[in-house]
Structure 1
Amino acid sequence: MNADDALVILAALAHPTRLAAFRLLVRHEPDGLSTGQLVEASGLSQSTFSTHLAILVKAGLVKTEKRGRQQIQRVNIDALRGLMVFLAKDCCEGRAELCEPLLAELTCC
């Protein structure tokens, strides 16, 4: 991932509705949620929410899968991983032990 890719992703997440939707999808990975479930959780109209969802999809954070009649939204784990690695890669001047608390927090729950 390069800086431009990271900025697109961060900009997509820089809105309360999109951040909440993304975090909800992270919690429901790998099954994902239907678009209707996301709309209901957001409390927004379908058209308003679809604008936010389109931004997440365009940034590469969310993938859409068709299951029967439903559109299932899932997190693009590779994009999430890429952003996390990009943000932390040069951390602490190569002193990996300083990142251990972060790693422990990610694995504890």
Structure 2
Amino acid sequence: MSTTTFFCNLSVPILVGEDRYKYIPIVGVFRSIPFDQVDEWVMHPDGRPRSDRELAAEVLVEIRKPLGSSGRTAPHAFDVADILQLDRAAAIVVSTFLAALPRV
């Protein structure tokens, strides 16, 4: 089974101080999963739901800067762990992933 990835633009909050955050635009590189396995993916084997942070950490492969004037993306100063510090960022990542997941 080959692993495929897809890209998606999104804006996520990052911490900029104690209890302060700002939204930054990023290009998320996501690992694709078969659409017919999504129901199983969101649950633990015992039937409990997985957290947004767990799910986001599993599918968000890389963070890139949005397209610049050159038309290319470049690695971002932030990494996946930085982005997932806030629960709301993890929720944005998961919802964006599910909305953009190819239904093949």
Shorter-chain TM-score: which interval?
under 0.3
Select the structure of larger CA radius of gyration: 1
Higher helix share: 1
Give the structure, 1 or 2, with the largest relative contact order (CA under 8 Å, sep 6 or more): 2
Q: What is the TM-score normalised by the length of structure 1?
A: 0.26
Higher strand share: 2
